[in-house]
Structure 1
Amino acid sequence: MTKYALEADHLSFDGIAHGFFGREGGVSPAPFDSLNVSTKQGDSADNVNQNLTLIAKELGVKPSQMGLLKQVHSINVVQFNGKADWDSRPEGDGIVSNIPGTAIGIQTADCGPVLFCDSENKVIGACHAGWKGAVGGIVHRTLDAMEELGANRHKIHAVLGPCIHPENYEVGDEFKQNVLKDWPELESHFPYPPGAVKPHFDLPGTIMHQLESAHLHTAVNLNICTYANNATYFSHRKATHLGTKTGRQLSAIAIF
């Protein structure tokens, strides 16, 4: 059990550790308080590395065995080789592993973090699904990569962690038109919440649609909005509206 992370029953298996970490439990000062895992907004590399080390310890792995990515809103997936270099990360937005004693993680601050495991075949995965990745197919790419390592799709459990919900994700007409031009099937994922003049985007609904269409063993949404729970989770959009900076949280899974 991790001390500072939300855990999902659907990922709780022998030989698997995981956590959807939030703001609590780290060393970073305001406005990155406190378990920030990114230097992009101005927090120091020393603070971030200390926070990542704390997370690795919580998961029960060595820091040198926790694989992370340089996330670029792509649909690229990386196979973790078991040796982490946090200063020189591979580019991608999905990561998979079947190496015992390793962890993999992705950082978010409104985008959707998805953790995967096939506990029987000992394969784990994680992906960062912002709107580009969600509509572009990062979920299916990550599942394909897990299968390449020996996972059985019908035995994979997937959990979507805290991310921004549609009531707080106004996108406007141009955004909607650009998405529907290539993905017309997403029309239903552009709701107008009560009082809204412009369309909003249902990011978790889009991600869950992909998970559910993949015929996995289990696909679960923790149903937590980062924007509405900014005291617990970092939210880039909330910070922007408040005129401040924010950090990034890590969602991670380990295999033993």
Structure 2
Amino acid sequence: MKKNEWLITKTNEYIQSRLFLKYKFNHAFYTRLNKSSKPNKLIKKISNCCSIHQLNQVHSKKVIKTTELNEFNLTQADGIISSNIKDQSLWIYTADCIPILIADTKTGDVAASHAGWKGVCNKIIKQTIEELELSGSERKNLIVALGPSISLSKYTVKDDVLHLLLRSINEKNINLSIKSDLFKLKEGDILVDLKKFAYKQLIKEGITGENITVSNYCTFLDEELFYSWRRDKMKLFQWSCIISGNLNK
């Protein structure tokens, strides 16, 4: 969880994971400096020959393949995986939730998921991994990047949400008064680290720690770089994308 695991362009337009670059997966977590740019414009910053695939996100655990998208790219879901085809760019948007990118270092298949607390509680991570397996992936070959999202110090939730999050990692009877890296009680508020819940889910799904990279950027605190729903109270967001490869051919 170190910032040196990540690169940011000199113009601060997008962030990339060194782990994904090591395996030659083209990707980007775009910042607010791209203003209102959409995928058909943003893709030109990293590639010139990709098809574009995006979703109508609804805070669900539904994950679909690119072949299941309707012609207007408006299918309701929160996760998308490539279809054994090179140069498919998969897009999700966030503004405090976690953008999650997954890549198979053997087949070249990729996935992108959007996970707020509802997605984490509903185990969209598990669902995405299982859909990749149905397409021929093995968990030992998967690498995962958890992109910029809101951090513990700024993410307050209700008591029932905390208990749902704890249940999602099989921590049903945890003592809320004990010290935890997952949550903190402060002046009557409950603060949670959503990325750590997502990380623990990945570990439970058999993804090794060395194959997971977590961005320390906070969408709330890093105001010059990111929009934040909790901070701005406006529906503004930044895009994230990953491009499929053909490593097995």
Which TM-score applies when normalising by structure 2?
0.81
Structure 1: runs of 5+ lacking an equivalent: 26-33, 37-47
Work out whether 1:54 is the aligned partner of 2:41. Answer: yes
**Alignment root-mean-square deviation, CA:** 2.5
Report the CA distance shift for 1:237/1:254 in structure 2 as closer, same or farther (over 3 A).
same
Q: 1:24 aligns with which of 28, 33, 43?
A: 33
Cα distance in 1, alignment partners of residues 116 and 20 from structure 2: 22
Q: CA deviation at 1:123?
A: 0.7
SS of residue in 2 equivalent to 1:69: coil
SS of residue in 2 equivalent to 1:103: strand
Identity of aligned residues (%): 26
Deviations, residues 134-169 of structure 1 (Å, cap 9, x unaligned) = 121100111111111221210100010000111101
Structure 2: runs of 5+ lacking an equivalent: 1-6, 175-179
Q: CA deviation at 1:93?
A: 0.7
SS of residue in 1 equivalent to 2:202: helix
Aligned to 1:233: 226
Aligned to 1:248: 237
Cα distance in 1, alignment partners of residues 110 and 231 from structure 2: 31
Superposition pairs of residues 199-210 of structure 1, within 5 angstroms: 199-210=190-201
For the 8 Å contact 1:67–1:82, the answer to whether it is kept is: no
Deviations, residues 84-118 of structure 1 (Å, cap 9, x unaligned) = 74x44111111000311210011000000110101
Pairs aligned (count): 226
Q: 2:78 aligns with which of 87, 93, 97?
A: 93
Q: CA deviation at 1:5?
A: 1.3
Q: 2:213 aligns with which of 220, 232, 252?
A: 220
Cα distance in 2, alignment partners of residues 61 and 132 from structure 1: 35
Task: Tell me which moved more, 65-74 or 210-219.
Answer: 210-219
Report the CA distance shift for 1:149/1:15 in structure 2 as closer, same or farther (over 3 A).
farther
Which structure: greater strand fraction?
2
Work out whether 1:169 is the aligned partner of 2:155. Answer: yes
Report the CA distance shift for 1:78/1:247 in structure 2 as closer, same or farther (over 3 A).
same
Report the CA distance shift for 1:76/1:9 in structure 2 as closer, same or farther (over 3 A).
same
Matched to 1:138, the amino acid is: I
Which TM-score applies when normalising by structure 1?
0.79
SS of residue in 2 equivalent to 1:208: helix
Aligned to 1:81: 67
Cα distance in 2, alignment partners of residues 119 and 95 from structure 1: 17
Work out whether 1:149 is the aligned partner of 2:135. Answer: yes
Q: CA deviation at 1:182?
A: 7.4
Deviations, residues 120-139 of structure 1 (Å, cap 9, x unaligned) = 21110111110011121100
Report the CA distance shift for 1:157/1:200 in structure 2 as closer, same or farther (over 3 A).
same
Cα distance in 2, alignment partners of residues 68 and 21 from structure 1: 15
Report the CA distance shift for 1:173/1:88 in structure 2 as closer, same or farther (over 3 A).
same
Cα distance in 2, alignment partners of residues 208 and 179 from structure 1: 12
Matched to 1:213, the amino acid is: K
For the 8 Å contact 2:95–2:229, the answer to whether it is kept is: yes
Aligned to 1:42: none
Aligned to 1:137: 123
